[in-house]
Chain A
Amino acid sequence: MHIVVCTKHTPDSEAKMSVDEAGNVSWGESPLIINPWDEYAVEEALLLRDKHSGTVTVISMGPEEVLEALKHAVAMGCDEAIRIWDESCAGSDTLATSYVLAKAIEKMDDVDVILFGKSAIDAETWQTGSAVASRLGCPSLMYVIKIAELDPDEKSIAVERLLEEGRQVVSASLPAVIGTTKSINEPRYTSFIGIRKAAKMEYPLWTLDDIGAEADKVGAAGSGVRWPQVFKPPERGGEAEIIEAETVEEAAAVLVEKLLAEKVI
């Protein structure tokens, strides 16, 4: 079985984000890491490989910085890692990014399962997974909390996915695009051996030519969305009004009055 995991790099979730007058976003000294949601996708890929045998390839579209994410995935246990990039890919929205990823997956030609994290913690669009499914003409199975069955010979899969009202149970044919969510598994830590392997590994670069992508469908030219302005939200003024009283009951009564006055109940 061939399993592909799509990943990206993000600033650490603890990073203090700032934006300068020109609108350039920075994350200070904070390191770039693998998008935390993608660790669930990598873990699920490794579990599937261990159960059904096969290969896990992790891919990412991006400049050299994405090697951090690819190395982490290899250190967790992925077999192959491929970076896809061309300067013209800069400024891609999810429409353009999904085009590039789908082209790369099509080039591999033998992929059974494509895994994504639920979203990336930087732009948080949640969009790339289902967009790739649409491009590949594969079933889109997002927010998956459990892969209940997978039969590589029958090319079938059954999953439980999370919607607002509960869990939808869905069966589909392979290849399929799976968006993982938290609690589908517990991502493993990287091992010393894994980290050594990741350090020695070759990370092939696929260009647009390699994947047969057209330059006018990537980057800003291939995107629908522009983001001309990034800014800090207005700070909420001051600290909480701490309710103090002789007894807990009095404090509770005061707070209840205030909340009723706020008309939020």
Chain B
Amino acid sequence: MSNDIFVWIEQFNGQPTAASWEAVGAARRLADELGSSVTACLFGGQGIADLAQEAISHGADTALLAEDATLADFRVEPQAALLAKTIREAEPTAVLIGATFRGRELGPVLAVELDTGCIADCIALEFEDGQLVATRPIYAGKLLSKCTIPERRPQIFTTRVRAFPKPEPDPARSGQVTRVEPVLAEDDIPSKVTGFQETRGGVSLADAGAIVSGGRGVGGPEGFEPVRELAQVLGAALGSSRAAVDAGWIPYEYQVGQTGKTVSPDLYVACGISGAIQHQAGMRTSKIIVAVNKDPEAPIFKLAHYGIVGDLFKVVPALTSAFKEKLG
């Protein structure tokens, strides 16, 4: 048993996710407290070797690298099998995984393989009396829970996207990269990935720094146009409330809230969204929340930091022009 920390590095078509570097940053801080080291685990298809150095630049000491066709498309089984094997060999005390869709599927499978605990969707990780304590939201963020894995090892944590700062890469850092081989052959993997339809254009909601969302107040599919324009000027992702999705104005992929995506951007602009508790569950941890709504009594104004009471079809275009002027 060592005090080292493993981090699973997620990538899609060779592009690493921000959540992975956030997890590396969190692991680095914990390892520094323990006086131990961080190992990045990078398992994908051919052509991802450069990411091993990138992981080290972001704070890992060493990297385990597998490049194999069986690992190219994400499937939980071959990722978990290889990760479990490397963990059995190195016996790290903790494993950190970004709490993305893939990460939240991988964590519990790894926990079963290693007969240990996995704490999901952590927003803080601190030592208290030598015990690693994770804080996570429950009941849609109405309550917080402190969780521990006191006896079993490794302790597995999935870290909420954007809850931990993304470390600045330091290209001067260097470390050993060790190649590892997959555990499962293609015939041993119970599923085949036969295609991928990428969500059309725009910024991904999950790791967006800014999000502009429209709700019932936009009134129809065309009502999203001013919202989309503001998002474009800000380089922000487009989001929506459940009401707009249920009305068929925008696809489900855009939905923020308890039954949609949980987001945590620096800036969240809610346009024509009343702010039902289920919507708040998906965006309440945003750093700055702005509400534009006709109804001064809308619950969103209780959560927002700034608000403008008025017609979104006037206010949102005015915001777009004002930002254009300032941001060029």
A contacts, CB < 8 Å to B: 11, 13-17, 19, 25, 36-37, 93-95, 98, 121-128, 130-131, 133-135, 137-143, 145, 158, 160, 162-173, 176, 182-183, 223-233, 236, 239-244, 248-249, 251-253, 255-256, 258-260, 262, 264-265
Which chain A residues border B194 with CB–CB below 8 Å? 158, 169-171
Contact A98 B234 (CB under 8 A): no
- Determine which of A17, A167, A168, A248 lies in contact with B310 in the assembled complex, contact meaning CB atoms within 8 Å: A248
Given contacts A11-B139, A233-B141, contact A228 B191 (CB under 8 A): no
Q: Decide: A94 and B118 in contact? CB cutoff 8 A.
A: yes
Interface centre among A143, A182, A223, by most B CB within 10 Å? A182
Contact of A248 (CB < 8 Å), options: B77, B112, B118, B318:
B318
- Which residues in B have their C-beta under 8 angstroms from that of A224? 111, 115-118, 149, 151-152, 155
Contacts of B74 in A (CB 8 A): 163, 168
* Chain B contacts with A in 139-168, Cβ cutoff 8 A: 139-152, 155
* Residue in A14, A25, A240 whose Cβ sees the most chain B Cβ within 10 Å: A240
Q: Is the beta-carbon distance between A230 and B112 smaller than 8 angstroms?
A: no
Contact of B120 among A126, A182, A232, A249 (CB under 8 A): A126
The reply to whether B101 and A142 form a contact with Cβ atoms under 8 Å apart is yes
The 4 closest A-B pairs by CB, nearest first: A224-B117, A252-B318, A127-B108, A169-B195
Query: Is B49 engaged at the interface, CB distance under 8 Å to the other chain?
Result: no
- The answer to whether residues A251 and B137 also contact, given A95-B117, A166-B197 and a CB cut-off of 8 A, is no
Alpha-carbon separation in the docked complex, A125 to B145 (Å): 12
How many of B's residues come within 8 Å of A, CB to CB? 97
Are B307 and A241 interface neighbours, CB within 8 A?
A: yes
Besides A140-B109, A253-B322, 12 other A-B contacts (C-beta < 8 A): A123-B145, A124-B121, A125-B108, A145-B252, A170-B194, A172-B191, A224-B111, A224-B115, A248-B314, A252-B322, A255-B290, A262-B267
Task: Give Cα A70 to B128, complex, Å.
Answer: 40
Measured CA separation A24–B28 after assembly (Å)? 34
- B residues 179-211 with Cβ under 8 Å of A? 190-199, 204-207, 209-210
A98 smallest CB distance to B (angstroms): 6
* Distance (whole angstroms) from the CB of A76 to the closest CB of chain B: 18
- Alpha-carbon distance A11/B17, docked complex (angstroms): 34
Q: Is the CB of A131 within 8 A of B147?
A: no
With most chain B CB atoms within 10 A of its CB, the pick from A16, A241, A255 is A255
